[in-house]
Amino acid sequence: MEPGAAKFKSLGELKKSDVKAYDAVWKAMREDGAFVEAGENDNLIVQRLESDPNSVGIFGYSFLYENSDKLKAVKVNGVTPTFDTIGDGSYPVSRPIFFYVKNAHRDVIPNLNEFLMEYVSDGALGPDGYLPERGLTPLSDEKRMEVQKAVADGKKLGS
């Protein structure tokens, strides 16, 4: 939202003169009925989109994929959301899921290490794993191996 807001001359000037006011403007959600909060109920969003052909919804890719016969994807910066564009980060509104664990808990909480290794295993996180079947976009082989090594070694990614 912020990069879009910054393209408006008046908002760019407001940002220079009053950052707090600028933040209040670009972060605000419409309250005139044009924006409807549907929470985490993706099925409700799909129903609303079906009932209004001029509406836009925001939800996980799995719901777009499952409803591709009813819904049309929105290109962002000319990029269509697909497993590949989401996985490689080129679809600009895609986001990764981060998973945090205190290493101090790994040898204290029963089966935590086994759970972590299962979660990043090829059978779970790989392209034919059960997590992509449930809507997660699989990592590239290289990135998945990096994540698996970091989890096995109890290290942060890139460290």
Q: pLDDT-derived band of residue 62, with 50, 70 and 90 as boundaries?
A: confident
Q: Which of 31-40, 60-69, 106-115, 131-140 comes out lowest in average pLDDT?
A: 31-40
Please give the structure tokens belonging to residue 49: 């989109």
| Alpha-carbon 106 to chain mean position | 27
3-state secondary structure of 79: strand
For 3-31, the pLDDT digits (tens) are: 888 788 898 889 889 999 998 988 887 77
| Spatial contact of 150 and 156, defined as CB atoms under 8 Å apart | yes
Q: Would you state the pLDDT for residue 136?
A: 82
Mean pLDDT of the chain, nearest integer: 86
C-alpha to C-alpha distance for 76 and 115, rounded to whole angstroms: 36
**Pairwise CA distance, residues 148 & 153, whole Å:** 9
pLDDT over 90 for what percent of the chain? 32
Q: Is the dihedral of CA 23, 24, 25, 31 positive or negative?
A: positive
How far apart are the C-alpha atoms of 106 and 116, rounded to whole Å?
A: 9
Confidence of residue 158 (pLDDT cuts 50, 70, 90): low
Q: What is the pLDDT of residue 119?
A: 93
Provide the pLDDT for residue 31. 75
Helix, coil or strand: residue 72: coil
Q: Residue 68 has what pLDDT? A: 87
